[in-house]
Amino acid sequence: MFSLLTAFDVADASSCNTFALVDPAQDPRLPGVLVSEASALACLFEDPEADVRAVAPHLIEINTADRPAAMEWLDRHAPQVPCATLLASPLSLAELARHLAAFLEVTLPDRTQMVLAFWDPMIFAALVGMPEDQTLHVTGPVFSEAQRHEFLAPISGWWYWDRSGHLRHLDSSASPAQPDPAGPAVPLLFNQHQVDLIVEASVPDNILHYIRLNQPGLLSRATDEQQYSFIRAQIGKARSYQIEGTGDLVNYCCLAVALGETFDTSPRIASLLRSVKARELSFDNFMVELPAVLSQPDVPA
């Protein structure tokens, strides 16, 4: 398993500069806590308003003097909160910031645009592809070969903390990409399959967000990692009953928390869920009928 010291050693050995890509929305102490002078950081958003800048992703060049304090802070906080990744590149701060900013927006098949939050470690890992990271909901890659190659071209190393708090290293020394018949990698264009993948990558986090917002005590006894694993498993079960849509998935997961993860094996509930799967009963009507079913004892089959 990699360590921060390993990452800095790799950067030194390849005569690269070391950078942190940080998310102040996840920890408001960033970026200031990692730098001693303003010239060492760049906001990826162009000329944002002050309130936007406060939560916008920043690229930080970690110089030798700041390295010990930066390593100590990242070691303590980044494994717990998805607030930072680490990069090594021969580019200067300004050059690398311009390169990354070119990938901020992606055009979707309906010609609308979406901000691509690659500063989120889990979105980054899905975009570039990390099949060995089994903590990911979508292991990727979401990027096409050409997009991935161009995104990583000036990067000699990229490290992120997975959901278990382990530091992972992206090997960016992949073979050169074949020409993309769709044209240059930037400006980014996603096909529908790529859109579906990147949306799916955030589904468990979105479900958790709504549960924590509306039922804050429901998951309080489990760690964040346990909560995420549980929700991922319940999403799979819900979909096996043809239950889709954020609201319905939230309700199904809340039932699994409140009634136990095997609640769907109860004969009366299982009978209702078979009707949902067969499209004979909507999930809304399932929720309406459920209280009456719960008030009755199960009869062995």
Residue-wise pLDDT for 100-158, tens only, equals 999 999 999 999 999 999 999 999 999 999 999 999 999 999 999 999 999 999 999 99
For residue 73, give every residue at least 6 positions away whose Cβ sits within 8 Å of its Cβ, in sequence order, or none: 33, 34
Residue 46 has pLDDT above 70, yes or no: yes
The first and second tokens of residue 244, run together, are 């889709």
What does the alpha-carbon distance between residue 115 and residue 123 come to, in Å, rounded to a whole number? 12
pTM attached to this predicted model: 0.87
Strands (E), 90-147: 105-107, 113-115
Q: What confidence category does residue 175 fall into, taking pLDDT thresholds of 50, 70 and 90?
A: very low
pLDDT of residue 194: 97
What does the alpha-carbon distance between residue 156 and residue 142 come to, in Å, rounded to a whole number? 20
What does the alpha-carbon distance between residue 209 and residue 203 come to, in Å, rounded to a whole number? 10
Q: Which of 279, 253, 280, 250 is nearest to 264 (CA)?
A: 253
Residue 70 has pLDDT above 70, yes or no: yes
Query: In the predicted model, what is the mean pLDDT of the chain?
Result: 90
Residue 209 has pLDDT above 80, yes or no: yes
pLDDT of residue 18: 93
Q: CB of 257 within 8 A of CB of 231?
A: no
What does the alpha-carbon distance between residue 95 and residue 80 come to, in Å, rounded to a whole number? 30
Side-chain half-sphere exposure of 31, counting CA atoms within 13 A: 27
Chain position carrying tokens 């303590």: 76
What does the alpha-carbon distance between residue 58 and residue 61 come to, in Å, rounded to a whole number? 10
